[in-house]
Amino acid sequence: MITVHHLNNSRSQRILWMLEELGVPYEIKRYQRDPKTMLAPDSLKKIHPLGKSPVITDGDLVVAESGAIIEYLAHTYGKDTLLPQAGGQQWLDYTYWLHYAEGSLMPPLVMRLVFEKVKTSPMPFFIKPVAKGISDKTNAIFIGPMIKTHLDFVEAHLAKNTWFLGDNLSAADIQMSFPLEASVARGIVGQHRPHITAWVEQVHARPAYQRALEQGGEYDFA
């Protein structure tokens, strides 16, 4: 039996979605973020030394990192459903989007979140204007343009494709779900990127996704 070590409001929600799409039985062990730091509890380190989520156990196997988990589940349980045939352009596209989600798209989104939090973090009053100025300037000249380039790139791709590999859902879509959901929820996508918004809406409409939400509980990706 697969156990999903599930942290609330985290990337592990997409692992639940994948398992629901595959129809693979699983159980959930729940962990809650510290309400002040929003970090995962130390108890997760008993499963994996980094103490991060998602992480799954499948018998004696421990698999961490979203991409590695999705790869493992796809190859072990979903070869005929969520994986393209090996070799050729579709396989290369699948591999690209699977790694792009966390390797290219997520870093500037995380940076934006961190710099936004700097502005609201407790600090001496005389430091606040300096911190706000640095944060706003960094977002304006570096992080913002980088995010725009990435979202325009994804929008152009989805303008020509129903899913990331074309007409059919794949494991690459599941991996891409978290950064795009977060981008829509935080208002970064905007009204001028309708294909990203439509893609997120069709993800949310899938019965397997809705079952995963019921299993995972409250999910705030904003």
In the sheet with 61-64, reading across from the earlier edge strand, the strands are: 26-31, 2-7, 55-58, 61-64
Domain boundaries, the chain: 2-83, 89-206
Cα gap 202→180, rounded to integer Å: 12
pLDDT of residue 176: 98
pLDDT (tens digit, 9 = 90+) per residue, 63-111?
A: 999 999 999 999 999 878 899 988 899 999 999 999 999 999 999 999 9
Q: Is the Cβ–Cβ distance between 118 and 127 less than 8 Å? A: no
pLDDT of residue 53: 87
Give, for 43, the enclosing helix (H) or strand (E): none
Is a pLDDT exceeding 80 seen at residue 119?
no
* Mean pLDDT of all residues belonging to the chain: 90
Cα gap 172→200, rounded to integer Å: 14
pLDDT of residue 126: 61
CATH assignment of 2-83? Answer: 3.40.30.10
Q: Which positions ≥6 away from 102 have C-beta within 8 Å?
A: 66, 67, 175, 179
What CATH architecture does domain 89-206 belong to? Answer: Up-down Bundle (1.20)
202 confidence band (pLDDT: 50, 70, 90): very high
Is a pLDDT exceeding 70 seen at residue 130?
no
Is a pLDDT exceeding 90 seen at residue 132?
no
pLDDT of residue 120: 74
Give, for 155, the enclosing helix (H) or strand (E): helix 144-158
User: Exposed (0-12), middle (13-18) or buried (19+): which is 72, by Cβ within 10 Å?
Assistant: middle
Task: Provide mean pLDDT across the span 146-166.
Answer: 98
Cis peptide leading into residue 25 (ω within 30°): no
Is a pLDDT exceeding 60 seen at residue 222?
no
How many beta carbons lie within 10 A of that of residue 196, not counting itself? Answer: 21
Spatial CA neighbour of 61 closest among 144, 1, 18, 118:
1
pLDDT (tens digit, 9 = 90+) per residue, 19-50?
A: 999 999 999 999 888 887 777 888 888 999 98
Q: What is the pTM of this model?
A: 0.90
pLDDT of residue 161: 98
Q: What are phi and psi of 30, to 5 degrees?
A: -95, 145
Would you give the end-to-end CA distance of the chain in angstroms?
A: 31
9 confidence band (pLDDT: 50, 70, 90): confident
